[in-house]
Amino acid sequence: MSQHTNQYGQPVGQSLDWQERPYPQREIFIGQSCRLEPFSVATHADALFEAYSLAEDGRDWTYMFVGPFTHKQAWLESAAQMESSRDPLHFAVIDLQTERAVGSLALMRIEPQHGVIEVGHVAFSPLLKQTRMATEAHYLLMHYAFEQLGYRRYEWKCDSCNAPSRRAAARLGFRYEGEFRQAIVYKGRTRDTCWFSIIDSEWPQVKSGFERWLHSENFTPQGEQREKLEALRR
């Protein structure tokens, strides 16, 4: 990046013709294999509890701020908070084949004045994990943030101990930025937080990789991928 200086000869960031971006809304986003809907207790809570209950144990919730939910009432109380929240703004992931909710994720730490937004609270059930739908759900929210809202920076953060989350961030095209030590206390534990991001100048290449990967020609009749997302992004 070229060096910019002010009238005092001090190095400064590049000037921007910038206006505050819109706040994300409770919209519906439709893909080829899944649909994102604003989370609703009445519409999604029962199906999600059933989907989450398919897991053999509670390990999917180890690095989440909530859960695991062994009793439905505890889940419904958490779900009510999800529905009423504006930041995080939660979306349910709907399987287009079954029309059932199979997971959720959220836009959070929303800063329209800076054009910065984070994806988080990613809770994918066994019906959603490691599927084409899971990747498409992330693509749909990224597309919304960059192309409809015009945000400049899309973040991913996770517990430094959460190796699957770190791998997922890299696969989806996020760039590792560093580790914030002792950033959070949750579930009676200390957490170092890993930061990742995609910025708007990187989005075209990331988008192209997603769209090539999601194309029907990239999948066998049995639904197996022919090329990995990382390879198609390169």
For 79-103, write each residue's pLDDT tens digit. 999 999 999 999 999 999 999 999 9
- The model's confidence at residue 3, banded by pLDDT at 50, 70 and 90, is confident
Surface-to-core class of residue 102, CB atoms within 10 Å of its CB (0-12 exposed, 13-18 middle, 19+ buried): buried
Distance CA 99, CA 35 (A): 9
Distance CA 205, CA 1 (A): 19
Whether residue 16 lies inside any domain: the answer is: no
Tell me, what's the pLDDT at 103? 98
Whether residue 208 lies inside any domain: the answer is: yes
Whether residue 14 lies inside any domain: the answer is: no
Whether residue 5 lies inside any domain: the answer is: no
How far are the Cα atoms of 51, 60, 118 from residue 124, in angstroms, in the given order? Answer: 9, 8, 17
- Cβ–Cβ < 8 Å for 74, 66: no
Summarize the confidence of residues 166-195 as an average pLDDT.
98
Tell me, what's the pLDDT at 2? 61
Give the domain extent around 66.
Answer: 24-233
Whether residue 64 is predicted with pLDDT greater than 80 in this model: the reply is yes
Whether residue 205 is predicted with pLDDT greater than 90 in this model: the reply is yes
For 11-57, write each residue's pLDDT tens digit. 999 899 999 999 999 999 999 999 999 999 999 999 999 999 999 99
For 103-148, write each residue's pLDDT tens digit. 999 999 999 999 999 999 999 999 999 999 999 999 999 999 999 9
Whether residue 167 lies inside any domain: the answer is: yes
Whether residue 158 is predicted with pLDDT greater than 70 in this model: the reply is yes
Give the CATH number of the domain where residue 186 resides.
Answer: 3.40.630.30
With b meaning 16 or more CB within 10 Å and e meaning fewer, what string describes 15-27?
eeeeeebeebeee
Distance CA 138, CA 134 (A): 7
Whether residue 19 lies inside any domain: the answer is: no
Whether residue 28 lies inside any domain: the answer is: yes
Tokens at 105, concatenated:
């994720």
Q: Report if pTM > 0.85.
A: yes
- Cβ–Cβ < 8 Å for 38, 27: yes
Whether residue 1 is predicted with pLDDT greater than 80 in this model: the reply is no
Tokens at 149, concatenated:
């809202």
Tell me, what's the pLDDT at 82? 98
Distance CA 186, CA 174 (A): 24
Whether residue 12 lies inside any domain: the answer is: no
How far are the Cα atoms of 25, 36, 61, 135 from residue 144, in angstroms, in the given order? Answer: 10, 11, 27, 15
Omega before 88 within 30 of 0, i.e. cis: yes
Helix axes 132-143, 203-214, angle to 10 degrees: 150
Domain count, the chain: 1
